């Protein structure tokens, strides 16, 4: 048995078929996936939960509370859903970088 988890991040120019990777060890299988929106994220989580027996989802800070709830619904009650959140100063740094690269 392996611990199966996915890290999801959002980007406005993501191509879910292209912007993904899988890292696997003897004890863990980690999917890394970039999506454009919550519906893509929920679909991927639902599919991995059903086909792979996903245990855990880690979301980037770009997902809102309601989006997290939508993804938790897609994952079901047996899958842990967590969000990586930063502190105030760190969020300002990232906000400035996003502005510079034209993210928003």
Three-state DSSP at 59 gives strand
Q: Which domain holds residue 70?
A: 3-101
Mean pLDDT for each 10-residue chunk of the chain (104 residues)?
Answer: 96 95 98 97 98 97 94 97 88 86 78
> DSSP class of residue 77?
T
Cβ count within 10 A of residue 35: 23
What number of CA atoms fall less than 13 Å from residue 65's CA on the CB side? 0
Q: Give the model's pLDDT for residue 91.
A: 82
Burial of 18 (0-12, 13-18, 19+ CB in 10 A): exposed
Q: CB of 16 within 8 A of CB of 40? A: yes
Give the model's pLDDT for residue 104.
64
DSSP structure class, residue 26: S
| Adjacent-strand bridge partners of 7 | 32, 58
| Confidence at residue 39, expressed as pLDDT on a 0 to 100 scale | 97
The number of distinct structural domains making up the chain is 1
Q: What is the CATH number of the domain that holds 58?
A: 3.40.50
pTM, two decimals, is: 0.88
Say if CB 33 and CB 20 are below 8 A apart.
yes
């Amino acid at each position: 048995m392996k611990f199966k988890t996915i890290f999801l991040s959002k980007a406005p120019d993501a191509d879910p078929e292209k912007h993904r990777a899988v890292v696997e060890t003897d004890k863990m299988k980690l999917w890394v996936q970039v999506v454009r929106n919550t519906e893509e994220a929920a679909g991927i989580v639902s599919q991995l939960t059903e086909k792979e027996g996903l245990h855990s989802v880690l979301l980037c800070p770009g997902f809102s509370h309601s989006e997290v709830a939508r993804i938790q619904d897609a994952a079901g009650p047996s899958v842990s859903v967590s969000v990586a959140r930063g502190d105030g100063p760190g969020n300002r740094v990232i906000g400035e970088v996003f502005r510079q690269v034209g993210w928003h």
